[in-house]
Amino acid sequence: MKKEIFKMHTVLIVDDEPIVREGLAYIVDWEAAGFKIIGTASDGQEGIEKIKALNPDVVLTDIQMPEMDGIEMVRYACEHDLYREFIILSGHSDFAYAKEAMSLGVAHYLLKPIDEEELLDVLARVSEQISLKQQQQAHLTSYQNYLDSRRVRDLLTSRNIDKELVTRMAFDSYCLIACEYEGYHLDNHAIEKVFESHLTGVAASFNHTSLRFALITDKSKSELSRMTQALSQAVQALHPELYILMSDWTVELKALPELYQQIKHLRNKRYIYPSLPIMSHLHLAEVAEKNRNQAVGFDKLKWKENLLSAIQQNKKEKIRAYLNEIAYYYQKNEWRERDIKADIAAIFNFYCDEMEEDVDLPMKESDKRYIISIILSERSLQQTFEFLNEIFIDFSRILVNQQDKFDLVEEMKRYTNKYYHLNLTLQELGKELNYSHSYLGKKFRNEVQMSYRMYLDQVRIDAAKQLIQEDKYLIYEIAEKVGYANSDYFSKKFKTLVGKSPGSFQREWQASRKKDSV
């Protein structure tokens, strides 16, 4: 079965006889053998020039030629790093020359007149050798690129310059490009493929801190601009939220750590600039110039009042406008992501408290925690405020259509009457009902005209009175059954609420029962 050839090997024929040059072109089916003739030369001197110009994989050459013979051509090629796979054509009288050629590393020779089968056999062996060398070179290049990329990656976070790296990467200019790949449900190899197909002049590429990096060298500003624009479109085709980070240029390899810090700085600004497809100092400067004439001042207290009024009046357009106003304030003043999220969480809690105080509409603590967790997890300022806008519109809807049929105080009473014997506190009740303990305490006092603790004691003492009347338990046992761990404290609380001690109450009840039985 004939071996399938995917890449044609190129051939240069060197012979001083035109008939031989022409005959060699037709003696075998070169393409079927996996070869393509790309040129001919009439002597060794012309052969050297053609080797330099055409860079063939194989040179098929005669030995005896005018000007420069085949041996001299091979020797020159060896001395000037132009060596290729040479196939020597020789006659019986040229055997001494053939031996000299073999001493120069030539492994293949054919006797004239050339036999078709012998030529095909030599070509097959040459093809295998070329393919093997190409594979070895590819592995070597890949490994060297890996080492270079690793050294560049290590250089980003340190000041230690690898001397070999400086030698291997001596370019006129350097620029770092990066793209974040985690969190978008993408295979990082997809980003790698896009980088490979859209970037040129890449001296090193690697993954680091959830980013795909490429070190670009020796590109003009216009070239880099076109390349990054195309790269940006390609990555956004994978996911619309993907973006490109691009550092400034530097002319020194040792300045790469500064470029890396620029990338980190730009990445941290992504939260407040989510719509920019390319994040660079140049692009951020353009945005700043557009916003230059807009006011930076911001009265946060007045803003809170205005937004609260919009929520209470169910003014959806005003709610969005006020949220856009503070979003612009964050962006204009370049707040850090974590500070913005902390401030937004505080704003959210402020409006929850306002609703609780002014309109008696509390939010469950579990719901608060869930909403704040979403605020903290959003990728961009835009997404955060879209979510917050929905929450505040929900606040408005609830305020306007308040029809809360759930009687919270009655639920507190029901729960207390059922579980009074446990170690019941407002904190525990708050966890059970998903409300803050301070709100529960305040609401209970306002509606029942007594503290929750007093109500709990009353329920427990009423239960204790019933147990005393059963005449089956000792006083300390009754104290434990109604939720008091300390019997002395139980006795004091009983006397305070009933007007007599548990023992006196028990004796009086026993006496009255005997009297009734007579």
DSSP, collapsed to helix, strand or coil, labels residue 197 as: helix
> Tell me: the pLDDT tens digits for 484-496?
999 999 999 999 9
- Enter the CATH code of domain 408-517: 1.10.10.60
DSSP string, 465-485: HHHHHHT-S-HHHHHHHTT-S
Query: Are the CB atoms for 409 and 443 separated by under 8 Å?
Result: yes
Residue 358 is predicted with a pLDDT of 58
Res. 499: pLDDT tops 90? yes
Residue 87 is predicted with a pLDDT of 92
- Give the CA distances from residue 472 to residues 466, 491, 508, in Å, rounded to whole numbers and listed in that order: 11, 18, 16
Res. 294: pLDDT tops 70? no
Beta partners for residue 212, in sequence order: 179, 207
> Tell me: the pLDDT tens digits for 224-238?
999 999 999 999 999
Residue 3 is predicted with a pLDDT of 41
Beta partners for residue 120, in sequence order: none
Quick one: pLDDT band at residue 387, thresholds 50, 70, 90? Answer: very high
User: Would you say the pTM of this structure is higher than 0.75?
Assistant: no
Query: Are the CB atoms for 269 and 338 separated by under 8 Å?
Result: no
Structure tokens at 122: 């030599």
Structure tokens at 87: 């196939």
Mean pLDDT of 78-97: 79
Res. 95: pLDDT tops 70? no
Terminal Cα-to-Cα distance of the chain (whole angstroms): 122
Of residues 458, 406, 456, 460, the one with CA closest to residue 433:
406
Res. 188: pLDDT tops 80? no
Quick one: pLDDT band at residue 195, thresholds 50, 70, 90? Answer: very high
| Amino acid sitting at position 475 | I
Residue 145 is predicted with a pLDDT of 60
DSSP, collapsed to helix, strand or coil, labels residue 210 as: coil
What mean pLDDT is reported for the chain? 86
Of all residues in the chain, what percent carry a pLDDT higher than 90?
44
Res. 304: pLDDT tops 70? yes
Of residues 325, 196, 153, 171, the one with CA closest to residue 249:
171
Please give the helix or strand (H or E) that residue 178 lies within, else none. strand 174-180
Res. 386: pLDDT tops 50? yes
Q: Is the dihedral of CA 421, 424, 428, 432 positive or negative?
A: positive
> Tell me: the pLDDT tens digits for 266-284?
998 898 888 899 999 988 8
Looking at CATH, the fold of the domain delimited by 163-290 is given as Alpha-Beta Plaits (3.30.70)
Range 9-134: architecture per CATH: 3-Layer(aba) Sandwich (3.40)
Residue 130 is predicted with a pLDDT of 87
Res. 344: pLDDT tops 90? yes
Query: Are the CB atoms for 429 and 467 separated by under 8 Å?
Result: no
- Whats the size of the chain, residue-wise? 518
